[in-house]
Amino acid sequence: MQRISRLKRELQLLNTEPPPGIHCSFSEENLENIQAQIIGGSGTPFEGGVFNLEIKVPDRYPFEPPQVRFLTPIYHPNIDSAGRICLDALKLPPKGAWRPSLNISTVLSSIQLLMAEPNPDDPLMADISSEFKYSRAVYLEKARKWTEKIRHTEEAVCVLQGEGEEQQKGPDEERCGKTSRKREALSAQENLEQPKRSCS
């Protein structure tokens, strides 16, 4: 399969020259499931947080985009409470902008950029988006609070796992079963509503 050899090359590159603020981990035998971490950029409300993502590489990669999802809760107009990301590079044309010359690394960089620069005009979380647009201070405050919580709950440095409501868990989920609880707790605290998603 083309994707395997390509992935190997990509991951080698990622290991040797990772983009700043991004880490990737993967196992040799399961190349299609990759864990990534993005460090909240300074100057953003996510500063100080480490955000875990899971990447699933489809069979047809690189002719299809990788599926990327946040495992760590994040307060962001383009990322929903299940961690899904609204980003054109993650979708196929004509709707999206995925193309085979992109790769895991560039996708992660785009996500990093998206974190710093939300796109409220293509929101996934309508509420957060309008907050971002019309009351930026509130948004920043909340986002910061969320990031705070992550840090607190993160003393045990283990890879965060999603609550797995719809996705299967990663290979090493046993190691950090508690994170899902964390996430739930977090959502509960914030009394997270589930805004409608306008971004499909």
Partner 1 sequence: MESSDNAEQGGSEQSDSQRRQQLDRLDREEAFYQFVNNLSEEDYRLMRDNHLLGTPGELTEEELSNRLQQIKDGPEQPHNEGSGSEEASNGDTLLDWLNTVRQTGNTTRSGHRGNQSWRAVSRTNPSSGDFRFSLEINVNRNIAEQQTQTEAERLEGDQVSPDAAVSEAEPPMETAEPTVPPRRGQIRARSPSPEQRRTRARTARSRLPVNLDQLDGLPQVHNGLPSHSHEPVPEAQVEGSSRTRLHVLSRQSNIQAEAQESVEAAEAPAAPQQGDAPSGEAGASGRRPPTIMLDLQVRRVRPGEYRERDSIANRTRSRSQTSNNTFLYETERGGFRRTFSRSERAGVRTYVSTIRIPIRRISDAGLGEATSLALQSMIRQIMTGFGELSYFMDSDSDSSDSNRGSNPSADAADTPGNPGTASASVVAEAPVTSAGGSSEVGASETRTEEREGSAVPPQARESRPRPRAPISLEETASLPFLRLAHFFLLNDEDDDQPRGLTKEQIDNLSMRNFGESDAFKTCSVCITEYAEGNKLRKLPCSHEYHVHCIDRWLSENSTCPICRRAVLVSANRESVV
DSSP 151-176: HHTTSS--------SSSPPPTTGGGG
* Per-residue mark of binding to partner 1, 164-183 (x: CB under 8 A): -------xx-----------
24 noted as active-site residue:
no
Q: Per CB under 8 A, does 9 bind partner 1?
A: yes
Sign of CA dihedral 54, 55, 58, 59: negative
Stretch that binds partner 1, among 24-32, 71-79, 148-156, 177-185 (CB under 8 A): 24-32
Per the omega criterion (within 30 degrees of 0), is the bond before 93 cis? no
Q: In this structure, what token pair is assigned to residue 16?
A: 């040797």
Cβ atoms 111, 68 nearer than 8 A = yes
Exactly one of 24, 86, 176, 199 is catalytic; name it: 86
Cβ proximity to partner 1: between 9 and 151 the closer is: 9
Q: Per CB under 8 A, does 52 bind partner 1?
A: no
Least gap, CB of 72 to partner 1 (angstroms): 16
Q: How far apart are the first and last CA of the chain?
A: 30
Write out the residues near partner 1 by the rule CB under 8 A.
1-2, 4-6, 9-10, 15, 23, 25-30, 35, 59-60, 62-63, 92-94, 97, 99-101, 103, 159, 171-172, 200
